[in-house]
Chains A and B, each alone.
Chain A
Amino acid sequence: MENLAENRTAYTDLEPATDIPNENHYYLNMGPQHPSTHGVLRVLLEMDGEYVVDPQPVLGYGHRMQEKMAEHKNWMAFMPNTGRMDYAAALPYNHGYVALFERLCGIEVPARAEYIRVITSELNRIVSHHLWIGAMLLDMGAFTPILYTFDDREQVLDILEDVTGSRLTYCYFRVGGVCKDIDDKFVEKTRAFIKRQRERFDIYNKLVTGNIIFIKRTEGVGVISPDMARRYGVTGPVLRGSGIAYDVRKNEPYSVYPNFDFEIPVGRNGDSYDRYMVRLLEIEQSLRIIEQALDQLPEGSFLGKAPKKMKMPTGDCSFSVEAARGELTYYLVSGGGDIPYRLKIRVPSYSNLSVLPELCQGMLLSDLVAAMGSMDLVIPEIDR
């Protein structure tokens, strides 16, 4: 552990490494354009035959200076950027950003808007888990499941497109509410989707959960102990897979989440299989939240009064939400005016990735793909 940090700096040089410590070891570059990294992540692997001796992630290929951009324009101008960090689940990112300003400036949000936010965010979480299930199995060589999950995913994307206007990089929430109201058609379609998704779980279970190849490749692979998870600040389904029931929606409730009855699924062993199960069960919990939210949906306005030209008070403020991959925190320091002095974004995938070197030491290369896939990394979020 001690010399891990030293190795990291040594190996991130772009020069090909020549100082291989053991002459039987060799270096293998996985990425930056490897199909299983789903983005431009490079993992530099020191290998001994088929075994990984030391995997080191190399970041920065997709860096866009998002945090710096936030310091250059007024706060509203950064809004579209929030949807472009975690593109697989952009709405929680929207949510955290607008809620940050609502907390900082003390802006009231109409109840209907909060409900709409929760419903759409949960739909987005489901979409993200669909994508993950498909993509992870694709990494492990199973082509079929992605066709089923994407079929379901399209259903939700159609629903979300109808209200937000886009399919992936949403910019739907506004300070004080949302930019478009939901209608009866949305409610009807969402209810139909809930019913359909519940029926589809059977297919997932038959195709994936009980499949012998899947079980053999994930059980006991990439075990993250609760202690290790805590040390690295791992959050989200990866943390819950290790048996720690931490979810911002429950532990630090925001928006209208306290109004709903839902559970936090946790795993037992902390292996890749548990992380899969946690996400699958989370889809069901999200469905429950949406169902209750649709039942309780209050009438009223969807966009409260927010000043057009918003002046921020001096000071700092932070807001955390549960994104699809874990805890997302925006921390803002304001020096007054309408341009943030500093916006720090704590993204879940970054901490989740940081367990990789310790987690994957001594693994087979193909297990590393399964372990890395089970962490649900979204690279533009890490390289924001």
Chain B
Amino acid sequence: MNNRGYFGELWFGAKSLLIGLNVTIKELFRPIVTVQYPREECEITPNYRGHVELVFNTETGGCDCIVCGMCAKACPSDCLVVKGEKKEGEKRKSLTLFSLDFTKCSLCGSCVETCPKGALDYSQDYNIAGFTREEFHYDLIERLERRHQQPLAAAAGGN
């Protein structure tokens, strides 16, 4: 390095810069690797772990949750609230409230892994932005209904 001499150094430096420039010029003719995000969207893997969501069971037309409360207990951030009540003439409790406070969720996956019924799964939502915290307090039952365009109770009633 140091025994290159003044002109040697100049020559070495100029050459190294040209080699670098060569790389960037070549890149001009390669395909574009960036995505213009809000206008284009990246494809997301099905294994992406977004916030949790109730799973729709196509057979019963509802969700499989049995209101055992294991998920809420397993959650390290206390962001799940599960409530249910026993209706007359039914064997099991039915779900009345399932809320997720996504502002506190750490996406650890404990709830999904502990659920004995497989009633929870991750969503693919990654485009989430909002102005208030309350926008991230999700009512998962309502979201499930909205996704399938029919009230759960009616669907379950026909069963």
What residues make up the interface of A, taking CB atoms closer than 8 Å to B?
73, 76-81, 84, 144, 151, 154, 158, 161-166, 169, 171, 179-180, 203, 206-207, 210-213, 215, 219
Pick from B12, B49, B74, B122: contact of A212, CB below 8 A: B12
Q: Do B23 and A179 have beta carbons less than 8 Å apart?
A: no
Pick from B12, B17, B109, B110: contact of A165, CB below 8 A: B109
Q: Do A162 and B45 have beta carbons less than 8 Å apart?
A: yes
Pick from B19, B22, B24, B107: contact of A144, CB below 8 A: B24
Q: Do B107 and A166 have beta carbons less than 8 Å apart?
A: yes
Contact of A151 with B24 at beta-carbon distance under 8 Å, contacts A73-B76, A78-B76, A171-B109 already known: no
> What distance in Å separates the Cβ of A339 from its nearest Cβ neighbour in chain B?
12
Q: Is B106 an interface residue (CB 8 A)?
A: yes
Could you list 15 further interchain pairs (A-B, Cβ under 8 angstroms) beyond the known A76-B76, A164-B49, A206-B19?
A76-B110, A77-B76, A79-B108, A80-B108, A162-B47, A171-B106, A171-B108, A179-B113, A203-B23, A207-B24, A210-B16, A211-B17, A211-B20, A215-B1, A219-B1
Of the A-B pairs whose beta carbons lie under 8 Å apart in the complex, a sample of 15, sorted by A's number, is A76-B76, A78-B76, A79-B108, A80-B107, A84-B106, A151-B33, A162-B47, A163-B47, A165-B49, A165-B107, A171-B107, A206-B23, A207-B24, A211-B17, A219-B1
Pick from B20, B47, B76, B106: contact of A206, CB below 8 A: B20
Q: Do B45 and A161 have beta carbons less than 8 Å apart?
A: yes
What residues make up the interface of B, taking CB atoms closer than 8 Å to A?
1, 12-13, 16-17, 19-20, 22-24, 33, 45, 47-49, 74, 76, 106-110, 113, 122
CA distance A275 to B93 in the complex (A): 62
**Interfacial chain B residues near A78, Cβ < 8 Å:** 76
> What distance in Å separates the Cβ of B23 from its nearest Cβ neighbour in chain A?
5
The 6 closest A-B pairs by CB, nearest first: A165-B49, A77-B76, A212-B13, A80-B106, A80-B108, A212-B16
Q: Do A212 and B17 have beta carbons less than 8 Å apart?
A: yes
**Interfacial chain B residues near A76, Cβ < 8 Å:** 74, 76, 110
CA distance A171 to B45 in the complex (A): 17
**Interfacial chain B residues near A144, Cβ < 8 Å:** 20, 24
> What distance in Å separates the Cβ of B153 from its nearest Cβ neighbour in chain A?
32
Pick from A80, A212, A219: contact of B76, CB below 8 A: A80
Most buried by A among B24, B48, B49: B49
Contact of A210 with B107 at beta-carbon distance under 8 Å, contacts A76-B76, A144-B24 already known: no
> What distance in Å separates the Cβ of B40 from its nearest Cβ neighbour in chain A?
15
CA distance A163 to B22 in the complex (A): 37
**Interfacial chain A residues near B33, Cβ < 8 Å:** 151, 154
> What distance in Å separates the Cβ of A343 from its nearest Cβ neighbour in chain B?
14
CA distance A18 to B110 in the complex (A): 52
Closest to B10 in A: A212
Most buried by B among A78, A84, A165: A165
> What distance in Å separates the Cβ of A76 from its nearest Cβ neighbour in chain B?
7
CA distance A164 to B108 in the complex (A): 11
Closest to A180 in B: B47
Closest to B48 in A: A165
> What distance in Å separates the Cβ of B106 from its nearest Cβ neighbour in chain A?
4
Q: Do B109 and A179 have beta carbons less than 8 Å apart?
A: yes
Pick from B12, B47, B76: contact of A161, CB below 8 A: B47
**Interfacial chain A residues near B22, Cβ < 8 Å:** 206
Contact of A165 with B76 at beta-carbon distance under 8 Å, contacts A179-B113, A212-B17 already known: no
> What distance in Å separates the Cβ of A142 from its nearest Cβ neighbour in chain B?
9
**Interfacial chain A residues near B108, Cβ < 8 Å:** 79-80, 171
Closest to A81 in B: B106
